[in-house]
Amino acid sequence: MSMDQQHIPDIIGSISFKADRRQLQRILHVRDDSRYLPMLMDLVDEAENYARPKAVYREAYVEEGGEDWVALDGKRFISRIMRVNLEEAGRAFFFVATCGRELEEWSLTIQDILEKFWADAIKEMALASAVRALEEQLRQRFQISGISAMNPGSLADWPLTAQPDVFAMLGDAPLVIGVTLTQSCAMNPVKSVSGIYFPTVTSFASCQLCPRENCRGRKAPFESELFEKRYQVSQKAG
């Protein structure tokens, strides 16, 4: 996919990763007096030698929109929630962030079941490092104080099948940082995330519209009336 100079994605490829060992212990329930602690610390040390988290992004501007769609830089996206979220923002930043192919390939060499579980948590932490670096660069470069995100598959309004549309906006850049899509629209490495960021005064998280209970990845409480108040299509007669 060719792109003009204005729309060439920016790649963040030198993201440092230092695992928060205390946080890992809490997540994995490994106490200071556990006989497993030395094993975990050795695994973390090894992972840090391989970890190369990365991210890519590009800015796009809202051109037009309808009740349940919005066009950015000539491409139409079907999502009522996105259309409303971008109404005041006027622009979005398409992105992919990943724990990195290097860490993924390292994790595939691990045979022990327990260590595989630990490696999965380490990869999640590396992905979080990539996301933080991306958000910080967006805030600094574009002078954004408040920023929120949407991800394909987080809500039925913008399903996982929209994933190729996000990748299309980034051209070959996701492949440059080692991220590919499967036929089922999942990403490889699995510990990767894609979507859009957008400037916002009132913070937004897809979790606010998701009623699923006992979700380990929940970032905000479910707000049962939010969709009706902000996103429901007006029933007024034309």
Domain count, the chain: 1
Is the residue at 189 inside a domain?
yes
What is the span of the domain harbouring residue 70? Answer: 5-202
Q: How many CB atoms lie within 10 A of CB 7?
A: 15
Q: How far apart are CA 175 and CA 148, in angstroms?
A: 25
Residue 218 reports pLDDT greater than 50: no
Is the residue at 196 inside a domain?
yes
Is the residue at 233 inside a domain?
no
Q: What is the pLDDT of residue 238?
A: 38
Q: pTM higher than 0.75, yes or no?
A: yes
Is the residue at 129 inside a domain?
yes
Whats the size of the chain, residue-wise? 238
Q: How far apart are CA 60 and CA 83, in angstroms?
A: 14
Contacts 24+ apart (CB under 8 A), 180-186: 184/160, 185/152, 185/153, 185/160, 185/161, 186/160
pLDDT in tens, 24-83: 999 999 999 999 999 999 999 999 999 999 999 999 999 988 989 999 999 999 998 899
- The CATH number of residue 162's host domain is 3.40.109.40
